[in-house]
Structure 1
Amino acid sequence: MSFSIKNICCIGAGFVGGPTMALMAEKCRNLIFNVVDINKQRIAEWNNKDFSKLPIYEPGLEEIIKKTRNKNLFFSTEIEDAIRSADLIFISVNTPTKTNGLGAGKSSDLKWVEASARQVAKFAEGHTIVVEKSTLPVRTAEVIESILNSTLSGLNKDKKTFSVLSNPEFLAEGTAIQDLENPDRVLIGGEDKEAMLLLSKIYKNWVPDNKILFTNIWSSELAKLTSNAFLAQRISSINSISAICEVTGADIREVSRAIGLDTRIGSKFLDSGPGFGGSCFKKDILNLVYLAEYFGLEEVAKFWEEVVHINIWNQKRIAKIVVKKLFGTISQKKIIILGFAFKANTNDTRESSAIKICKDLIEEGAELIIHDPKVNPIQIEADLKIKPKPLNNEASKTFLNSNSGSWRFSKDLNIFDGSHAILVLTEWEEYKNIDWNYVAKKMVKPAWLFDTRSVVNVELVKKSGINLWLIGDGGI
């Protein structure tokens, strides 16, 4: 088959599709990239004249969009036209965990993948390479192939043919552009060798040959789930040891440094914190759990499910510690929350530990003031499912007289007046440079600082007179 790739379509303009296609467009100026989505608002944000208001914040992304948008990178809602003109189509849509039906709470809901496959089957012309880019359960390619092949029956007047590949993303939010520019590996799974080579040719514009790996399609899908599961398992493991450090007098930073120097273990993902978040870790582990249960591997399922349980336990543990240190009650006490994104250098709040911790504190009656440099307060409201505290005095009185707590958002850090405690939940750089002497004068005594990210200068905090709880430090 004589076939070349000139036009590429990506269905899905989210955290994977947008940045990935932007980087590809920068590296492959001879190719056209169309990123399409049914979400009109998201597409409008990608096309915003103010590049600082893109829907996704990633260091370096804004600069790439400036170079490529409306040159060889286009964002639109014209899905049908983009599919028709495409030689290669990435499916990069959302795959949330099912909330009801078979596999609820564990397996992925593939309705958007199926819908995308049906659109490709209907509107594609000639030969089309279809690439799984979303995080998907094992054997999803089988579903896509079945849908695509169903259009090939009869006379097939349009002469449609399809090749289905798996090309999972291995991006860490906050470093996505760096991960795309210098990946540890690019995994291409499939059975059609020519299609695999054509996809690899795109990557070879900037990725060395030895980093491009070919596998069968099932191994590719499982490798993605397994990578995320292993990383999440390390986080739960170090957080469990962190709790032991706190009751034995050990310091988790010293323990992590010691075990990280073991070349068999390595130092990455050994930082203790409030727990893992993001769009993939929990979802991928639960997919593994469902897969193991489906095939009768109950012990395997229990092992991976416990990784999620430890993560939830750690979040609850932190909220309980705050209440305990503040004399057993936080009702109507003002607590400053520093950071709501699940990690620094992203505006993503999906599965953020801050959601569970803030909800627990509000339930205990606390008045939270939440600050995050990149997260929109509208997103915080959606995550907490609680409206922010009104600013007018009369409405505020109603909140004060209720048994439950409240929250409001602040754009700046002039928020410490009359606060009883500060809780660092995201490791933003600006939190490292706070003047704790100044803050101490604004707070109610005895004042507390709870650092779940090990970002503050311990000596400066102690000198200020603020009581410090540092995650994993039993010596404080």
Structure 2
Amino acid sequence: MPAVNKICCIGAGYVGGPTCAVIALKCPHIQVTIVDINQARIDAWNSKDYKLPIYEPGLEDVVREARGRNLFFSTDVDKGIQEADLIFVSVNTPTKKSGIGAGFAADLNYVELATRRIAAVSNSSKIVVEKSTVPCRTAESMRTILEANSPANCRFDILSNPEFLAEGTAVNDLFAPDRVLVGSLETPEGKVACDALTEIYANWVPRERILTPSVFLPVNALSAICEATGANIDEVAYAVGKDSRVGPSFLRASVGFGGSCFQKDILNLVYLSDSLHLPEVANYWRQNIAVLGFAFKADTGDTRESAAISLVRDFQAENANVNIYDPQVVHEQIWSDLSEACPTIPLTTLQKRVKIFSSALEACKNAEAVVIATEWKEFRDIDWNVVYLNMRKPAFVFDGRILLDADKLRNIGFKVTVIGRGEKL
């Protein structure tokens, strides 16, 4: 991949704004465009009197020197994406306020939307860098989305470049970081992309401070998470040890801790530790899910204690749209069960989010994921090629009954997870 000449940062917030402003300052040969759909925020970055939307000591001086030279702020997200060689995804990732993992897990909706936009409008290959504060394996999810939706002439290489800024010293942290982490795949292409980002930081950061682990995951309590997620505990320990804040300054007693990141990161770790017992199911719930089967087992119309009821209830907590098909359960029974399981949701609201179909093929159309909840034989015999063609990509199948030929589905193009088995997406 040739040298990076143009950078786009999606997100003009606390991380993306200062980070890419400093990159523009230190790399005058690179054009840096920071894009955001928030017009007021972009207007503030472009304000004549430099009333920036973020206050950080030294930031105004950086923007004054670089803005208009090689640093630009715009609401034209698509143009920024199309022109860039390298794209930072630096959007908001708040802690979820509802649904599964509420109060602990990160809401990755904005990350997914940005990733899908990159795939939709790109007309050339890109390096895509996750820069938001996100849980591990987010880069893997982004890669899955980009690979499934990319045009034939585009290649996307995904890097993880977590930020370590402290509010109040962000500009100094960027000028003289303890370390910069650039995580990549252990492939030739991954290494080339990693080298490209490394060269950018090397314009002002000593190379010995630029660390390039194969996988980055934010020591005994972490080792189990590393084993489950493919990270290397030695690399984690080394990277953490390079942070001068982990020491007396970090451990000093106080009434608590604040800011936008630390508490969120701890909550994410707690949620990650819990969710790994059911391998990452929460990460795969999407906007439109087909649930095949509603009876508690095949060859009956009985729904008492059916797992499908709990599944749909949890999907509703995630505000997902759900398509249901079962060959024997009558529609009135499904609505009765869901009304009982979701007592705070009016039936009229449920009927807007949940649709019941007369065939499996209809239920799967335009879905992003298919969940096998009942082991009906007819689900094994579906024309899965047709299902795949009519689904959004990447297309997921979750076999909750160990019913399907997973390898056959993978050959078609599906991302398949089988309950009780450790296959990765």
- Does TM-score exceed 0.5, indicating one fold? yes
Residues 224, 78 of structure 1: alpha-carbon distance in 2 compared, 3 angstrom cutoff: farther
* Secondary structure in structure 2 of the residue aligned to 1:75: strand
Q: Quote the offset at 1:226 in angstroms.
A: 12
Q: Quote the offset at 1:224 in angstroms.
A: 8.9
Residues 198, 227 of structure 1: alpha-carbon distance in 2 compared, 3 angstrom cutoff: closer
RMSD: 2.5
* Secondary structure in structure 2 of the residue aligned to 1:179: helix
Residues 189 and 219 of structure 1 are in contact (CA less than 8 Å); yes or no, is this contact kept in structure 2?
A: no
What is residue 131 of structure 2 aligned with on the other side?
A: 133
1:273 equivalent to 2:271? Answer no
* Secondary structure in structure 2 of the residue aligned to 1:274: coil
Question: Pairwise mapping of residues 428-439 of structure 1 onto structure 2 (< 5 A)?
Answer: none
What is residue 206 of structure 1 aligned with on the other side?
A: 204
* Secondary structure in structure 1 of the residue aligned to 2:212: strand
What is residue 288 of structure 1 aligned with on the other side?
A: 269
Q: Give CA-to-partner distance per residue, 1:39-94, whole Å, 9 cap, x none.
A: 1111111111112x211111110111100111100011000000000000000000
Q: Quote the offset at 1:133 in angstroms.
A: 0.4
What is residue 97 of structure 2 aligned with on the other side?
A: 99
Q: Give CA-to-partner distance per residue, 1:303-327, whole Å, 9 cap, x none.
A: xxxxxxxxxxxxxxxxxxxxxxxxx
For residue 29 of structure 2, what is the amino acid of its counterpart? Answer: N
Question: Pairwise mapping of residues 322-471 of structure 1 onto structure 2 (< 5 A)?
Answer: none
Residues 137 and 225 of structure 1 are in contact (CA less than 8 Å); yes or no, is this contact kept in structure 2?
A: no
For residue 62 of structure 2, what is the amino acid of its counterpart? Answer: I
1:170 equivalent to 2:159? Answer no
Residues 164 and 190 of structure 1 are in contact (CA less than 8 Å); yes or no, is this contact kept in structure 2?
A: yes
* Secondary structure in structure 2 of the residue aligned to 1:34: strand
For residue 121 of structure 2, what is the amino acid of its counterpart? Answer: F
* Secondary structure in structure 1 of the residue aligned to 2:159: strand
* Secondary structure in structure 1 of the residue aligned to 2:103: coil
1:215 equivalent to 2:213? Answer yes
What is residue 15 of structure 2 aligned with on the other side?
A: 16
Q: Quote the offset at 1:188 in angstroms.
A: 0.5
For residue 290 of structure 1, what is the amino acid of its counterpart? Answer: Y
What is residue 296 of structure 2 aligned with on the other side?
A: none
Q: Separation in 1 of the partners of 2:265 and 2:46? A: 31
For residue 177 of structure 1, what is the amino acid of its counterpart? Answer: V
Q: Quote the offset at 1:104 in angstroms.
A: 1.2
Q: Separation in 1 of the partners of 2:207 and 2:259? A: 30
TM-score by length of 1: 0.51
What is residue 193 of structure 1 aligned with on the other side?
A: 191
1:30 equivalent to 2:38? Answer no
* Secondary structure in structure 2 of the residue aligned to 1:141: helix
1:62 pairs with one of 60, 63, 69:
60
Q: Separation in 1 of the partners of 2:160 and 2:77? A: 21
What is residue 425 of structure 1 aligned with on the other side?
A: none
Q: Give CA-to-partner distance per residue, 1:325-351, whole Å, 9 cap, x none.
A: xxxxxxxxxxxxxxxxxxxxxxxxxxx
Residues 216 and 236 of structure 2 are in contact (CA less than 8 Å); yes or no, is this contact kept in structure 1?
A: no
Q: Separation in 1 of the partners of 2:184 and 2:62? A: 30
Q: Separation in 1 of the partners of 2:253 and 2:137? A: 34
For residue 276 of structure 2, what is the amino acid of its counterpart? Answer: F
Q: Separation in 2 of the partners of 1:133 and 1:200? A: 14
Q: Separation in 1 of the partners of 2:3 and 2:238? A: 33
Residues 39, 78 of structure 1: alpha-carbon distance in 2 compared, 3 angstrom cutoff: same
For residue 167 of structure 1, what is the amino acid of its counterpart? Answer: N
Q: Separation in 2 of the partners of 1:160 and 1:11? A: 19
Residues 25 and 73 of structure 1 are in contact (CA less than 8 Å); yes or no, is this contact kept in structure 2?
A: yes
Q: Separation in 2 of the partners of 1:160 and 1:296? A: 36
Residues 167, 177 of structure 1: alpha-carbon distance in 2 compared, 3 angstrom cutoff: same
Residues 41 and 53 of structure 2 are in contact (CA less than 8 Å); yes or no, is this contact kept in structure 1?
A: yes
For residue 56 of structure 2, what is the amino acid of its counterpart? Answer: E
Q: Separation in 2 of the partners of 1:171 and 1:226? A: 18
The runs of 5 or more residues in structure 2 that have no matched partner are 219-230, 279-425
What is residue 421 of structure 2 aligned with on the other side?
A: none
* Secondary structure in structure 2 of the residue aligned to 1:129: strand
Residues 226, 109 of structure 1: alpha-carbon distance in 2 compared, 3 angstrom cutoff: farther
What is residue 145 of structure 1 aligned with on the other side?
A: 143
Residues 58, 227 of structure 1: alpha-carbon distance in 2 compared, 3 angstrom cutoff: farther
What is residue 238 of structure 1 aligned with on the other side?
A: none
Q: Separation in 2 of the partners of 1:118 and 1:9? A: 15
Larger radius of gyration: 1
Q: Separation in 1 of the partners of 2:114 and 2:253? A: 39
Q: Give CA-to-partner distance per residue, 1:204-254, whole Å, 9 cap, x none.
A: 1001110011112343799899989x99x98xxxxxxxxxxxxxxxxxxxx
What is residue 320 of structure 2 aligned with on the other side?
A: none
Residues 90 and 131 of structure 1 are in contact (CA less than 8 Å); yes or no, is this contact kept in structure 2?
A: yes
What is residue 86 of structure 2 aligned with on the other side?
A: 88
Residues 135 and 224 of structure 1 are in contact (CA less than 8 Å); yes or no, is this contact kept in structure 2?
A: no
Residues 170 and 224 of structure 1 are in contact (CA less than 8 Å); yes or no, is this contact kept in structure 2?
A: no
For residue 142 of structure 1, what is the amino acid of its counterpart? Answer: E
What is residue 46 of structure 1 aligned with on the other side?
A: 45
Residues 96 and 109 of structure 1 are in contact (CA less than 8 Å); yes or no, is this contact kept in structure 2?
A: yes
Q: Separation in 1 of the partners of 2:258 and 2:66? A: 31
For residue 17 of structure 1, what is the amino acid of its counterpart? Answer: G
Residues 89 and 129 of structure 2 are in contact (CA less than 8 Å); yes or no, is this contact kept in structure 1?
A: yes
For residue 40 of structure 1, what is the amino acid of its counterpart? Answer: Q
Q: Quote the offset at 1:135 in angstroms.
A: 0.8
For residue 49 of structure 2, what is the amino acid of its counterpart? Answer: D
For residue 133 of structure 2, what is the amino acid of its counterpart? Answer: T
Q: Give CA-to-partner distance per residue, 1:12-44, whole Å, 9 cap, x none.
A: 000011101111101000000000011111111
* Secondary structure in structure 2 of the residue aligned to 1:74: strand
Q: Separation in 2 of the partners of 1:269 and 1:160? A: 44
Q: Separation in 2 of the partners of 1:218 and 1:23? A: 23
Residues 91 and 130 of structure 1 are in contact (CA less than 8 Å); yes or no, is this contact kept in structure 2?
A: yes
Q: Separation in 2 of the partners of 1:288 and 1:79? A: 32
Q: Separation in 2 of the partners of 1:225 and 1:287? A: 19
* Secondary structure in structure 2 of the residue aligned to 1:165: strand
1:108 equivalent to 2:106? Answer yes
Q: Separation in 2 of the partners of 1:126 and 1:107? A: 33
Q: Quote the offset at 1:283 in angstroms.
A: 0.6
